[in-house]
């Protein structure tokens, strides 16, 4: 397994629509494993392939608390096939927008269809934090970040701060 580097916004590679996976084979499984290791290391609770520079429809998640056993999900071609009418705000963060958080309103429950690690089609009913997290990760596959769901004023502020942080980082390493 290998740690991958996570792309930080603003970056054009995060705005690309990813392509479907034909089948979950050993190459896809290796990528899933590397993504999961990268996510645990960050640490985070979800990661989408475009965040590590791969424009394929693959996400990994694990919402287990530190005192619980790991509960990883590996999903290829995940699709939201149903959402609840009920929505709620939830504070979201993202490994590609480090240290920035904002409330995003999304459906509180969603049914997801995806290919699992063994290339089997699965359907899963999600709610609350898992539902929010899956929707957030699927958004990444369409080039959508959580800041695209908030006001333009807030979004610009966050992106400006991230741009500034990138500039000062490059000065240090130069």
Which residues form the catalytic set?
A: 137
Q: CA 33 from chain center: how many Å?
A: 15
Is 36 in a helix, a strand, or coil?
helix
CB 94 within 8 A of CB 70: no
Q: Which stretch binds Ni ion (CB under 5 A): 18-26, 34-42, 89-97, 156-164?
A: 89-97
Comparison of 94 and 110: residue with beta carbon closer to Ni ion: 94
**x/- string (CB under 5 A) for Ni ion, residues 133-172?**
----------------------------------------
Place of tokens 């596959």: 141
- SS percent in the chain: helix, strand, coil, step 5: 35, 25, 35
Instruction: List binders of Ni ion among 29-88 (CB under 5 A).
Output: none
Q: CA 143 from chain center: how many Å?
A: 10
Q: Which residue is nearest to Ni ion (CB)?
A: 94
Candidates 21, 60, 94, 162: give the one binding Ni ion (CB under 5 A).
94
In the complex, the residues that contact Ni ion under the rule CB under 5 A are 94
């Amino acid at each position: 397994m290998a740690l991958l580097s996570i792309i930080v916004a603003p970056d054009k590679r995060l705005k690309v629509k990813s392509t479907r996976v034909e089948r979950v084979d050993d190459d896809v499984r290796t990528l899933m494993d590397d993504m999961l290791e990268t996510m645990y290391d960050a640490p985070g609770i979800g990661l989408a392939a475009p965040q590590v520079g791969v424009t394929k429809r693959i996400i990994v998640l694990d919402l287990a608390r530190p005192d619980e056993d790991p509960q990883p999900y590996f999903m290829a071609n995940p699709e939201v096939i149903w959402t609840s009418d009920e929505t709620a705000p939830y504070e979201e963060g993202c490994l590609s927008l480090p240290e920035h958080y904002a409330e995003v309103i999304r459906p509180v429950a969603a049914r997801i269809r995806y290919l699992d690690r063994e290339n089997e089609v699965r359907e899963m009913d999600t709610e609350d934090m898992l539902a929010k997290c899956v929707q957030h990760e699927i958004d990444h596959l369409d080039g959508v970040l959580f800041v695209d769901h908030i006001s333009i004023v807030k979004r610009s502020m966050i992106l400006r701060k991230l741009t500034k942080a990138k500039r000062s980082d490059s000065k240090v390493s130069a």
